[in-house]
Amino acid sequence: MKLYRHPTMRRWLVRALLCLVVPPCAGAQEATTPDIEATAAAATAAAPTAAAATAVEVTLAMVGGRLIDGFGGAPLADSVVLIADETIVAIGQMGQLAVPEGVPVISTEGMSVLPGLWDMHVHLMIVGHSDYEHWDRTYPDRFQRDIMPAAAEQLLHAGVTSARDLGAPLDEILAIKRAIADGALAGPTLYVSGPFIQHRPYPGTEDFRWGVNGVADARAKVRRLIDAGVDVIKLIDQDQMTMEEVQAVVDEAHLRGLPVVAHSHRPEEIRRGIAAGVDCFEHTGLGTAPEYPEDVFELMKGRANTLFWTPTIAPLLLYEITRDNPERIDDPRWRHGLPDDIAADVRQSLDHLERLSYYQLMPRRRPTLQRKFQQLREAGIVLMIGTDSGVPLVFHSDSTWRELDTWVREFGVSPMEAIRAATYWPSVHMGVSDRVGTLAEGKIADIIAVRGDVLRHIALLQDVDLVVQRGKRVK
């Protein structure tokens, strides 16, 4: 057997070639935003030529599309992407970069080609049912077998090749993560928190919400999660914990190299999270309050460039969208992979949306969203795409594109900035930007393509035509 035909040797050869043109430190984990940008620019400027592709066996070529690489530069027309095993080995243009003879070619003519999307806030254990209490009582024994696999595949078919699951029973979500990594299940590469950390679990939620009682217990719970294999620690209701407990959670996670995310539903949650050194906040929060309090806004600005935030803003608009356009509930994509009885239960729970208490405040919150979103941007916080996918009425099959569309259509974010918030910045936050999140030589080939120009019409992402994950076409 020729050595370069072995996948491991193939990857080693690609990395060896990259080392000839990229300094060894270029792949190291970034520490600050300025270093991140400098490293990205250096890596792009020093990208290897097509010669890299000749030293390995190219296994797939994507030819003809307009490539948006995630770094924020001008798109590359008539692009050619050459892939060996799971790795991008060359990027160029038609007429300048040749496809080796006999290599399978996927035509991307007329398409936008971009990195696989990230969704930084999903819940695979839920799929849009309106009644949490009923769901938590009825389906725990079917999470791993039926519900999580269906949710994961729906996300992947929607173009999400990486996702952060922020709240699920520990054993079940780790089993799904491993099954996807091993190729036994279809789904995005998962970064998981396992159970929430909070003062006291809500009744009936103890499997996926862990209470803490004192500093020692807080540290012990975090160590247990990390030893099990989670990628991130999640705090909720930290304003109900002692400050010492909150600090213990953050310190223990950071000691082991993991980021901490926290809810931001109330001002004191944000104050305590920032004081303790939380890395990322979830949701816009504050209910119908018109803006973040002045002292909280000042604390945000004090963490400019170092604090990440996932606003999860589209779900707050979905009630009115679906109330006025109920055909959305008839879209068969949210049923994909779900057993008929579960799909029927979800559908029945969404009858008479206007009567359900969960949605009553949402129309009143909508007028406050513009100001809060603008404050997050003005504070210099790094915003990322996340959807709370799986919560009532929020389906894994259409949540991510709706968040992107909301940023662009409702809040004036440029399509390029929104795409980077769903590709580049999530990979930076999770410390894996040397491997994924952008399209460049040496990166993992997580690539999607959609017919048309997404920089003019971001809503085209609702119908992703092509998904390549780790170098293999999965849609």
Each residue's pLDDT expressed in tens, for the chain with a length of 475 residues = 333 333 333 443 444 333 333 333 333 333 333 343 443 333 333 344 455 555 689 999 999 999 999 999 999 999 999 999 999 999 999 999 999 999 999 999 999 999 999 999 999 999 999 999 999 999 999 999 999 999 999 999 999 999 999 999 999 999 999 999 999 999 999 999 999 999 999 888 999 999 999 999 999 999 999 999 999 999 999 999 999 999 999 999 999 999 999 999 999 999 999 999 999 999 999 999 999 999 999 999 999 999 999 999 999 999 999 999 999 999 999 999 999 999 999 999 999 888 888 888 889 999 999 999 999 999 999 999 999 999 999 999 999 999 999 999 999 999 999 999 999 999 999 999 999 999 999 999 999 999 999 999 999 999 999 999 999 999 9
**What's the domain count of the chain?**
2
CA distance 385 to 368: 19
Answer yes or no: do 257 and 156 share one domain: yes
Answer yes or no: do 328 and 416 share one domain: yes
Q: Which domain does 37 fall in, by range?
A: 3-116+438-473
Helix crossing, 170-181 with 148-157: angle to 10°? Answer: 40
CA distance 81 to 88: 7
Answer yes or no: do 309 and 442 share one domain: no
pTM of the model: 0.89
How does the average pLDDT of the chain come out, rounded? 90
Residues 6+ apart with CB under 8 A from 474: 156, 186, 467, 468
- SS3 category, 448: strand
Residues 98, 58 contacting (CB under 8 angstroms): no
Answer yes or no: do 396 and 458 share one domain: no
Answer yes or no: do 186 and 84 share one domain: no
CA distance 97 to 254: 44
3-state helix, strand, coil in the chain (%, to 5): 45, 15, 40
8: domain CATH number?
A: 2.30.40.10
- Taking the alpha carbons at both ends of the chain, their separation in whole angstroms is 31
* Residue 132: Cβ within 10 Å count: 15
Q: DSSP assignment of 276-309, as one string?
A: HT-SEEES--STT-SS--HHHHHHHHHTTTT-EE
Could you tell me the maximum CA-CA distance found in the chain, to the nearest angstrom?
A: 66
Secondary structure element (H or E) that encloses residue 138, with its range: helix 132-138
Answer yes or no: do 148 and 250 share one domain: yes
Answer yes or no: do 79 and 169 share one domain: no
**Sequence-separated contacts (24+) of 17-20 with Cβ below 8 Å:** 17/48, 17/51, 17/52, 17/55, 18/48, 18/52, 18/441, 18/442, 20/48
Answer yes or no: do 207 and 332 share one domain: yes
Q: List pLDDT tens digits, range 326-358.
A: 999 999 999 999 999 999 999 999 998 888 888
Answer yes or no: do 218 and 75 share one domain: no
Q: Rounded to 5 degrees, what angle do the CA atoms 31, 35, 37 make?
A: 125
Answer yes or no: do 221 and 347 share one domain: yes
Answer yes or no: do 69 and 18 share one domain: yes
Q: List pLDDT tens digits, range 190-208.
A: 999 999 999 999 888 999 9
CA distance 171 to 463: 33
Residues 423, 163 contacting (CB under 8 angstroms): no
CA distance 468 to 86: 10
CA distance 169 to 187: 18
Residue 1, CA atoms < 13 Å, CB-side half-sphere: 7
Answer yes or no: do 382 and 454 share one domain: no
121: domain CATH number?
A: 3.20.20.140
